[in-house]
Amino acid sequence: MSVAGPAGPYGRSPLPQPSARPAQPDPAGHPPLPAPVEAGHWARQWSTALQCFDLDAGRFEVSLLAYAENATYDCLDRHSGERLVLRLHRPGVHQLVYIRSELAWIDALRRDRAVHTAGFRMAAPAEAVARFRGPEGQMLHAALFEHLPGREPATEDLPGTMALIGAQTARLHAHARGWNAPRGFDRPIWNVDHLIGDTAPWGCWGQVPEARTEERTHRLLERAESKIRNELAAYGTGRDRFGLIHADLRTANFLVDGSRTAVIDFDDCGTGWFMYDLACTLSFREDDARLPSWVAAWLRGYTGSAELGREDLAVLPSMLMLRRLQLLARAGARRHPAVVDGGFIPATAALAERYLDGGVLAGLAA
């Protein structure tokens, strides 16, 4: 997941990730990476990764698409014209079983024709994940996907895009509810503790120094977290509302090609609240005045094929606030300029105040 804001296909983001200096072209021909990234760095090992898939790396023109939890590359075969997307996993972020399980769900979605998504290459018989030692001796993992045509859905017509995403999300949830995952399937559990609590992989929002600078801001966010915990504990984790979710359904992770829409980047998928997927779609837009119309459009798309109860609607403000605090924690851990020097924390505090007063999506479940 990128924490830089609304992003483009395959993780491209219009907001720069923080780095010591701008990325510079490598004289050896490697794609530029954020500094400081040396030749022996895990993110530079695309050539070895391609060889693990029985490909001649010398045939490929490779360019960086995204660099965050993973390094993602566009790989163009100069001879055949075939285009692939290589994902190198940052060491220590995802266990091997997590990556295998993500690919197992993707394979099932494709086999069951639940949604359109990218297929992947096998690294060996019965093994989709390439494993190899990096120059520093660490074990590295890679996955290789087909490249899908298309563009990110139009953000100028966000209500129309929200309806499209809502419909696709309903298809994902229907599949998740009916799918019998294979033995050994394991993905993160996205409950409150693992999203914004002490067990969150990126830490909790309270560890971000800027969130503690002003006492009033800190108290607002603490009260918001307390309300989130109380409301989601009451909502519960029944099978009708808590299951396998994508957990990063931003517009950046959809590709529209004519009448076909594809869902990509399942790297954050896990077990969580189905309604949290809506909050993820609205990442970085939670405080926009147009939020009610976007949510209404998403709901129109979703309920075209799925039912939602009043409790599902009533919990949406808590899902939005939960996602916002998660984004604060992740961006703060990366020391993103929007958190360190920008207005993200004051805007988050203002959102928390409205949430506590019942002003976020007021009347939605009435």
pLDDT of residue 340: 77
> Is the pLDDT assigned to residue 283 strictly greater than 80?
yes
User: Would you state the CATH architecture of domain 9-146?
Assistant: 2-Layer Sandwich (3.30)
For the chain, which residues make up each domain, given as ranges?
A: 9-146, 158-356
**Which residues, in sequence order, are CB contacts of 116 under 8 Å at separation 6+?**
148, 260, 261, 262, 263
Mean pLDDT of 309-324: 98
> Is the pLDDT assigned to residue 35 strictly greater than 70?
no
> Is the pLDDT assigned to residue 53 strictly greater than 70?
yes
CATH topology assigned to domain 158-356: Aminoglycoside 3'-phosphotransferase; Chain: A, domain 2 (3.90.1200)
Identify the band that residue 6 occupies on the pLDDT scale cut at 50, 70 and 90.
very low
Question: How many other CB atoms are found less than 10 A from the CB of residue 137?
Answer: 6
Rg (C-alpha) for the chain, rounded Å, is: 20
> Is the pLDDT assigned to residue 27 strictly greater than 50?
no
Are the CB atoms for 190 and 276 separated by under 8 Å?
Answer: yes
> Is the pLDDT assigned to residue 332 strictly greater than 50?
yes
> Is the pLDDT assigned to residue 146 strictly greater than 50?
yes
The pTM for the full model equals 0.89
pLDDT of residue 241: 98
- DSSP-derived letter for residue 60 is E
Establish whether domains 9-146 and 158-356 are of one fold: no
**Around 212, how many Cα atoms within 13 Å sit in the side-chain half-sphere?**
8
pLDDT tens sequence across 126-137? 999 999 999 888
Looking at the chain, the whole-number percentage of residues with pLDDT higher than 90 is: 78
